[in-house]
Amino acid sequence: MSVVRLATRRSPLALLQAGIVQGFLTRIGVESQLVEIETSGDQRLDVPLSVLGGEGVFAVEIQRALLRGEADVAVHSAKDLPSQSPDGLMLASVPERLDASDVLVGRSLAGLGPGATVATGSPRRRALLLERRPDLRVVELRGNMATRLAAAGSNGIDAVVAAAAALERLGATDRVAERLDSTWFVPQVGQGALALEARMDDLETLLVLEQINDPDSFACVAAERAFLRELGQGCSIPAGANATIDNDVVTVHGVMIGVDGTRSVRSSIEGVNPETLGTQLARTLRDEMGGGSLPGWQSTS
């Protein structure tokens, strides 16, 4: 086919990820070019994600460019992608996923003294930290990955929470002070994965993307997105889900936790239908949490 146009955010990490997709395409003999787009989430770095509304702030403009025909593929961090694609678009491909875990940069959890300051822009990360260490001072942090990594050890910030996959892609794994146990510190839906959207009627592009899809990674992301979709935007509690697959058996771990970390529920489920599993796990946790009525939820948790 002709050159595939890849729509991407302009942040350094997003451009790196789009370049990774270009590499996949090159290996199957497909030429591509980048279409750089500034999203609302990138423009308003002074506003916390919890105020912006979270879900979609790094994806909507990219999806609109795709729908307008200005690009053929939208390249997302799967964790930034809303739980349901707009009419006319579909999640077409998830290349092989990296580690979904969160990490601490600066100091390990045990190395943080009483009252130490940890920075994160995520309500989920904040709540999970406070669950284990209610003495910590957790402050807001926005900006690209370089800005966030530089914050550790400066301006009174002792540690920063980041995604393991982001540091791996940036070649910065030497900055990791501790990899947080994903059965406790359950990752954000889609973390560590790239999500490639395309128009549903663009069969040529869909066939190309199928060639760089990793079926196991796609199944795991599908389970997690079903979890988030079932919770819905009306849910008021930070949550996370992480799916793994072994011999076609999918296991999904999930958490819902109060914003101050004082109340949480966790569960896991396994089976063969990813979306059914994610949906059922969300219902189980929501029921155990009393319907998800506490304040503070942001679905890009």
Find all residues with CB under 8 Å of 195, minimum gap 6, and list them: 75, 76, 77, 78, 81, 91, 93, 94, 221
**Pick the catalytic residue: 72, 80, 102, 202?**
80
Residues 278, 230 contacting (CB under 8 angstroms): yes
Residues 94, 214 contacting (CB under 8 angstroms): yes
What's the count of helices (H) and strands (E) in the chain, helices before strands? 10, 13
Residues 163, 194 contacting (CB under 8 angstroms): no
For residue 122, give the nearest of 52, 224, 177, 199 by alpha carbon: 52
Tally of CB atoms within 10 A around 121? 22
Q: Does the annotation count 80 as an active-site position? A: yes
| Residue recorded with tokens 């045990």 | 110
| Residue recorded with tokens 């451009």 | 15
**In terms of residues, how long is the chain?**
301
The residues that are catalytic are: 80
